[in-house]
Structure formats: C-alpha cells, structure tokens
Amino acid sequence: MSAAGWIKSNDLVFPGSRLGLAGAAWAPPNSEEKDVMTSDRDWLRDAFAMTPVLRSDGQRVIPRDYLVLMKIDSARGHDQGDLTRILGRMTDAEVEQTIAALTLYLDDTDLAEDVRHYAQIGRWEYET
C-alpha cells in the first residue's frame, strides 16, 4: 500500500478479538482514511472463497454475514451503530440466516439474541 502512495496513520486494536482481527488505518492520496483489517483465521478464507460481492463502483467487499461477524467481534463503538443500520434493513429470515453463519465462528450463547436486538433497534430507527 505504501508503494501505491497510501499513508498508514495508525494501527487498529481489537482487544479480545475471537476472530484474530488486526489492521491499520490508511489514507490514499487525495481521499479519506480507510480501515484495512485482516485475520489469519479460517473465517476470512471462507469469506473470500464465496461468490464475490461487488459495490456499485466495482470494488469487492466482504459478504454481509462476514461483515456483521467482524463488526460484532471488533467491539468498536461505531461498529455497534453500523450493526443496527445493517441488520435493521434485513428481513427476519435474513437475520436468522446471518445468525446461523455467525455461530459457525463465534461460540457465544448470547449471540443470537444480541443480533436480533440489533435488528430490532435498527428497524425502530428506520421507522422514525
């Protein structure tokens, strides 16, 4: 990234990450800073083995279930807000599908209920 002109501004810290999250914040030339995250665990290889998901500008992004997985594990404040916005737009069936995917990687007895709560909070936000 440095060779492409990006500047690393700081390391990202994920204390207690069960997914082995690590990363850094980088700023490309003439644009805003981006968080670049990685892991050496199987879940990330599984995510990139799936059919690619592309943004409208053609850039590849991590599949939604894995994005939710990362945001739950990161425990950063702004990620918690993102969870309500992501999950609040999902149907009940999609939320349950996401829960099933998450439980493959996180052994957490409260996980399913937490995800359902994030979805409900997000729905309330969209109603107002």
pLDDT of residue 117: 96
- Which pLDDT band, with edges at 50, 70 and 90, does 31 fall under? confident
Q: How far apart are CA 87 and CA 98, in angstroms?
A: 9
| Percent of the chain residues past pLDDT 70, beyond the cut | 100
Q: What is the largest CA-CA distance in the chain?
A: 46
* pTM (predicted TM-score): 0.86
Q: How far apart are CA 70 and CA 23, in angstroms?
A: 12
What integer is the mean pLDDT of 97-123?
Answer: 94
pLDDT tens digits for 57-97?
A: 988 889 999 999 999 998 888 888 999 999 999 999 999 99
Q: Nearest to residue 113, comparing CAs of 125, 103, 126?
A: 103
